[in-house]
Structures are given as C-alpha cells and as structure tokens.
Amino acid sequence: MIRKLKDIKLIVIDIDGTLVDSEGQVGEKTLHLAKELKKQNIWCTLASARSFHYSAHIADELEIDIPFITLDGALIKSRLGETVYKGVIKDSLVRKAISLAENNYGKITMCDENNLYVTPRNAVVKEYTKLSAPVKEVSDFSGMTDILEVLIYCEDKASLRAIKHNFGFLDRRGISLNVTRSPRSDYYLLTIKSEGSNKLDSVKRLVKNLGLQRKNVAVIGDWHNDMPLFEYGAYNVAVQNAIPELKRKADYVTSSTNNEDAVGEVLELVQASASESGN
C-alpha cells in the first residue's frame, strides 16, 4: 500500500459521511495534515453533492486553493474564483421540467452556482434538500437561467415515472436523469443535470487541469454517489462506515469512521509514504 501511495499528489474527498462527522465538523488531524501535505505539493480537494456555497466553507477550513467539485460534478470551481467546468442545463429543458412537474404533482426546486430557488407552492422542498445553499424564494421559475441542477420530488412512483417518460427521447439529449428514493421512503427524487455533470467526468477534468495522471490520485468516499469515483481507477479508499458495495471496490478501508476522523487516518498514511520516498 505504501508503494502505491508514494505517487499520490491529489486526494479527492467526499464531504458528508466521509470528511465531516455527524455534527458537520472536520477532524483536527485532517485539518492539520491537509495543510502540511500542501507544503509537499500534495493537494486535498473536495467532491460532493453539496452546493458550492457549503463546500467553500469546508475549503476555507482546509485552505484548499485548487478547484473542488460540487453538485456531484456540475461545477468545478475554486474558492478563489477559478472555474474549470460549469454544466449549465439548456433553458428549454429547464422549462420542460417545470411544466412536467406542475402537471404530474411534482414539487420542484433548482439551483445555480449560488442559490437554491423555491416558489411559494414548492417551498416544502426546503425540508428535503441537503445542498446547504442559500434559499431564494421567487414568485415563479420563469426566466431562470444558468441552472446547474433541477430536483423534482414526487410522493408516488407513478408521477415520477410519468415525468421521466414525458421528457421523451429527443429532449433527453444533453441531460442526465437520475432517480433515487429517500432514506425514509416518503418520496422519490428525479435529479436532472447536464450530461457529463457527474463525479467521474469532473474528476477527470480536474486531473487534466492540474496536469496530473490517474496514478497520482486517491479518492475517499462512503456512499452510492461515490461509486463513479471508484470507477476511475485511482487509489480507492472507503471509510469504515461506507456502504458494503464501496468497500468491496476499495484498495483500502479505514479502521476509523467519519466520526473518528477517517480522512485524517488516510492523510497520515500519505504523509508517511511521502516521507519514506523523500518527497
């Protein structure tokens, strides 16, 4: 394992369930080692479903100067303002999503780079989303532009199926549609994003932007949406509290959970490897 870690120059870290504990805090060891590794030109960055607004606060804590991945790949941007990728959904497809949601009992919200938008009739979706972006209430969604993600919540599967089906084959070009069910099983969620706005493609974009190779990358995750990261072929790390499917694909499983600073455990190994190889 140490031999493989000696080539690592970029550590891509999921946030929820991986980097932060149940209180949303980053471990002290991680905070210290991320800054120490940066002095050795080994960079930590983020890859999360969370919004840029939320992720930027974590990037500030870790003093991450390179771009990080937010909205599960829809935006790659640094806290200093450098944008590597922005997967904007076509305005016509946003309008179609709004119409389909309204006609099929769906509750809809959407977000751009800065805000999560709701209307009075869709305000309930604030209880569901975990994007931690500033919520901006608008009278309606007309005129919305630069949208990176559309979220449609349905209480029954039939409504969601109708919305997805009525997008039609031609309208699906250029977008991705992903269906999930809430952990409490009280709603279904259809996530609409620009095609290619996913963690895997965005990690590839970031690695290319930094002039690195796949062997220089380690990824750390815990959940289903981290599966694409593990398909990249980097050094895969699953935290102890990760889902079994992710652990089976991991090159290394931490002995500690996210509540025990699992990322700090990994950074310690990377630092030891770098010291051993003389970096």
Q: Which of 150, 173, 194 is the last residue of a domain?
A: 194
Q: What pLDDT, in 10s, does the model give residues 31-77? A: 999 999 999 999 999 999 999 999 999 999 999 999 999 999 999 99
Q: Which of 194, 214, 248 is the last residue of a domain?
A: 194
Same domain, 75 and 96: no
CATH label of the domain that carries residue 186: 3.30.1240.10
- Helix, strand, coil percentages, rounded to 5, for the chain: 40, 25, 40
> CB-based contacts of 46: which residues, under 8 Å, 6+ apart?
12, 13, 14, 15, 19, 55, 58, 59, 64, 68, 69, 70
Same domain, 201 and 269: yes
Same domain, 11 and 23: yes
**Rounded CA separation 127/13 (Å):** 26
Same domain, 116 and 178: yes
Whole-number Cα distances in Å, 218 to 13, 16, 212, 214, 251: 8, 17, 12, 9, 10
**Rounded CA separation 42/269 (Å):** 13
pLDDT score of 5: 86
Where does 91-246 show beta strands of DSSP type E?
Answer: 107-111, 116-118, 135-137, 149-154, 175-181, 188-194, 217-221, 235-238
Q: What pLDDT, in 10s, does the model give residues 188-198? A: 999 999 999 99
Same domain, 179 and 235: no
When pLDDT is averaged across residues 173-195 and rounded to a whole number, the result is: 87
Q: Which of 145, 177, 194 is the last residue of a domain?
A: 194
pLDDT > 80? residue 3: no
Q: How many CB atoms lie within 10 A of CB 228?
A: 19
Token couple for 182: 């809430």
Q: Is the full-model pTM beyond 0.85? A: yes
According to DSSP, the β-strands at 10-13 and 43-46 are parallel
Same domain, 109 and 232: no
pLDDT score of 104: 95
Q: Residue 53 corresponds to which amino acid? A: H
Same domain, 69 and 151: no
**Rounded CA separation 221/229 (Å):** 8
Closest CA to 240 of 263, 272, 217: 263
CATH label of the domain that carries residue 245: 3.40.50.1000
- List residues bridging with 43 in a β-sheet: 10
pLDDT score of 276: 79
Same domain, 188 and 162: yes
Q: What pLDDT, in 10s, does the model give residues 119-174? A: 999 988 888 887 788 999 999 999 899 999 999 999 999 999 999 989 877 677 88
Same domain, 113 and 54: no
User: Over pLDDT 90: what percentage of the chain?
Assistant: 81
Whole-number Cα distances in Å, 123 to 37, 103, 108, 145: 43, 17, 9, 20
**Rounded CA separation 169/111 (Å):** 24
Tell me how far the alpha carbon of residue 61 is from its chain's centroid.
18
pLDDT score of 279: 57
- Looking at the chain, the number of H-run helices and the number of E-run strands are 10, 14
Domain count, the chain: 2
Domain that holds residue 172: 91-194
Same domain, 253 and 183: no
Same domain, 95 and 78: no
Same domain, 58 and 101: no
